[in-house]
Amino acid sequence: MSSPSPVLISVDWGTSAFRARLAAADGSALEAVEAAVGATGLTSGAHEAFLETQIGGWMRRFPGLPIMLSGMVGSRQGWVEAPYVACPAGAAEIAAAATSVPAARIGRVVVVPGLSARDARGAPDVMRGEETQILGALGAGGRADGLFVLPGTHSKWARVEAGRIVDFATFMTGEVFAALKDHSLLGRLMAPPDATDAASAADGFARGLAAAAALERPGDLLHAIFMTRTLGLFHELPAQGLADYLSGLLIGAEVLAGAQGAREACVVGSLGLTARYRAAGEALGVALAPAPENCATLGQIALLERMGAP
Amino acid sequence: MSSPSPVLISVDWGTSAFRARLAAADGSALEAVEAAVGATGLTSGAHEAFLETQIGGWMRRFPGLPIMLSGMVGSRQGWVEAPYVACPAGAAEIAAAATSVPAARIGRVVVVPGLSARDARGAPDVMRGEETQILGALGAGGRADGLFVLPGTHSKWARVEAGRIVDFATFMTGEVFAALKDHSLLGRLMAPPDATDAASAADGFARGLAAAAALERPGDLLHAIFMTRTLGLFHELPAQGLADYLSGLLIGAEVLAGAQGAREACVVGSLGLTARYRAAGEALGVALAPAPENCATLGQIALLERMGAP
């Protein structure tokens, strides 16, 4: 039995990581490469050279195979800017706005645009890369509607209707956690990361979720954050549980605000982080169903089909 | 006309600053010294030596004058630990728990204890130094009841009934602002501090306050924080207004949560920071009346009277 043929070189290139897959029609990876090289940290002109070092072998073995890139690589700070598409937008609108880049050494590459949205008060929001993952999750789940959460440094909550992303909001949960842990008084009482203690971590996370559920006014979050310190000072949580208290508090507050009263959503992302969000959702009455991990590739294949053969 | 006699060497020694006043009975400073030397950054034993360099001259001119210290100098990381007094607590409870330190070179010093409180869910909170300022503000205002806000890195909101602090809450507003500005993506689009532009700053602050007032769920704060970036990306606020947007958002959220529906409070602190809080309060329907700037000294004099002559 021969192995399936690849249909796409699928690249997900964000702020901190590069992931490329030689993808079959069903979205599975025949081969894959990853590198801790962000698309926004390279000098102008370096993107194509780096890409060639990563996927050059595939290109020579499968000449003419389409190459598609999504993520921050399409931002002003990345390789080439693919302007934001305004919501509502589905596969048709996103495919129509994809930017085709003539690259000297590796031929044409397609860069997927990001999305923009306005909240009820008119403030703008943006995503890059998550729109492709959402398209993939829609296809994988055989659905055209629902609420999607993509946890991360900048978590996204997106609402989809009839196959189109109608609105979304970014929550800065991951970056707020890191900034407070590493650059505020709160980190001082925390045990070092190597001092693992699963029971204390689970206790801290549960305390944080309970604190999130008890918040009344938005500014109370600025108060509950400070409890990371006082729970440590009064020995009411061990040092090994303090980071998890802060994590549970912030993730819990995000889940309750992102869900806006909904009782279920689809969670898209890496296994470790989605497990954490699913535990938070379970404690807070929001069932989070996991999508496959290869949603970025699945979304790109859906876009490729929209665009027709190159 | 002879100058009034000093009654106290009044020292307010916190995490980052040392302030000493040669104080008259009305709380006015006959002389004052300040230094950017925090009480928690000194090695054990160095506190007395430093204090002597600052107030030795006064001690020799006015032998036997009482010396009182409040603030983080009384914490475990300071000079000598003056254990927390549990709320409710007023001048009587605080004076009774003051710690008298026999210091070899400068004689007896009195260290004011901090306060602890429990919120409705039983989580602990602490203050050190603010209790003394609140006592001073009570005396200066000729009142025994009210809501008091002490803005800062760790803002405190305290409720006073019949002269006693019955409960309080800390909001980590100042430190969250600094951590996000200096150690997250949000700082990247902000103009450098020397690029002053009063109109943009005022516009940003007002936008931040409006965003705070519009928050629905606590976790929405994690979303509105991200608007610091997107308002810059979309050129809806100039780079000179982005830090003030974030400041207005956080201070506004704090004021609404700290006031808990109250329409007025007394604000205690330095002129610049209280002005910022008063502007926020005005926009959000919470009238913040300023207390005198020498509340720490006024509070110490009230405690001195409670304790009787040394």
At residue B3, the pLDDT reads: 76
CB pairs under 8 A between A and B: 161
Six-digit token string for B58: 């006064």
Confidence of residue B309 (pLDDT cuts 50, 70, 90): low
B192 Cβ contact partners less than 8 Å away, ≥ 6 residues apart: none
B225 near A CB under 8 A: yes
Cβ distance B296 to B70 under 8 Å? yes
Cβ–Cβ below 8 Å for A179 and B175: no
Six-digit token string for B306: 């409670």
Mean pLDDT of chain B: 94
Rg of chain B over all Cα atoms, to the nearest angstrom: 21
B interface test, pick of A72, A223, A233 with most B CB neighbours within 10 Å: A223
Q: What's the mean pLDDT in B279-297? A: 97
CATH fold group of domain A6-142+297-307? Nucleotidyltransferase; domain 5 (3.30.420)
The rounded distance, in Å, linking the Cα atoms of A215 and B28 is: 42
Angle between helices A295-307 and A130-141 (to 10 degrees): 90
Tell me the sheet residues that pair with B229: none
CATH no., domain B6-142: 3.30.420.300
Cβ–Cβ below 8 Å for B222 and A260: no
Residue A38 DSSP symbol: -
- Option in A124, A180, A253 nearest B218 (CB): A253
A308 Cβ contact partners less than 8 Å away, ≥ 6 residues apart: none
**A241 alpha-carbon distance from chain centroid:** 26
The rounded distance, in Å, linking the Cα atoms of B242 and B208 is: 9
Residue-wise pLDDT tens digits, B158-196 = 999 999 999 999 999 999 999 999 999 999 999 987 777
Residue-wise pLDDT tens digits, B187-232 = 999 998 777 789 999 999 999 999 999 999 999 999 999 999 999 9
Enclosing H/E stretch for A164: strand A164-171
Six-digit token string for B191: 């103009």
| Ranges in chain A, pLDDT < 70 | 1-2, 309-310
CATH no., domain A173-290: 3.30.420.310
Residue type, A261: G
Return the closest-CA partner of residue A250 out of A215, A298, A301: A215
A237 near B CB under 8 A: no
Judging contacts by C-beta atoms under 8 Å, the chain B residues touching residue A169 are: 223
A165 Cβ contact partners less than 8 Å away, ≥ 6 residues apart: A87, A88, A89, A90, A115, A117, A131, A134, A158, A159
Q: Work out the minimum CA distance from B143 to partner chain A, whole angstroms.
A: 27
Cβ distance B152 to B128 under 8 Å? no
At residue A223, the pLDDT reads: 98
Q: What's the mean pLDDT in B5-19? A: 95
CA atoms within 13 A on the CB side of B243: 18
In terms of CA atoms, which chain A residue is nearest residue B254?
A: A219
SS3 A141: helix
Confidence of residue B310 (pLDDT cuts 50, 70, 90): very low
Alpha carbon separation from B43 to B69, B74, B78, B222 (Å, rounded) = 18, 14, 9, 38
- Option in B175, B185, B260 nearest A185 (CB): B175
Q: What are phi and psi of A294, to 5 degrees?
A: -100, 35
Confidence of residue B1 (pLDDT cuts 50, 70, 90): low
**B269 alpha-carbon distance from chain centroid:** 6
CATH topology identical between A6-142+297-307 and A173-290: yes
Judging contacts by C-beta atoms under 8 Å, the chain A residues touching residue B255 are: 219
Six-digit token string for B42: 């000194």
Judging contacts by C-beta atoms under 8 Å, the chain B residues touching residue A215 are: 218
Q: What's the mean pLDDT in B67-78? A: 94
A105 Cβ contact partners less than 8 Å away, ≥ 6 residues apart: A48, A49, A52
SS3 A196: coil
The rounded distance, in Å, linking the Cα atoms of A130 and A134 is: 6
Only one residue has tokens 């604000």, namely B267
At residue B108, the pLDDT reads: 87
Cβ–Cβ below 8 Å for A222 and B256: no
Q: What's the mean pLDDT in B149-160? A: 97
Judging contacts by C-beta atoms under 8 Å, the chain B residues touching residue A84 are: none
Q: pTM to 2 decimals? A: 0.95
What percent of chain B is helix, strand and coil (3-state, nearest 5)?
A: 45, 25, 35
Alpha carbon separation from A303 to A96, A127, A133, A166, A307 (Å, rounded) = 9, 17, 11, 18, 6
Return the closest-CA partner of residue A172 out of A250, A246, A115, A256: A250
A15 Cβ contact partners less than 8 Å away, ≥ 6 residues apart: A38, A39, A40, A41, A71, A72, A153
Six-digit token string for A279: 């535990």
Total residues found in chain A within this entry: 310
In terms of CA atoms, which chain B residue is nearest residue A176?
A: B180
Q: What are phi and psi of A119, to 5 degrees?
A: -85, 180
- The burial of B149, by beta-carbon neighbours within 10 Å (0-12 exposed, 13-18 middle, 19 or more buried), is given as buried
Domain range list for chain A: 6-142+297-307, 173-290
Judging contacts by C-beta atoms under 8 Å, the chain B residues touching residue A182 are: 183
- Strand ranges (E), A58-105: 67-70, 85-86, 89-90, 99-103
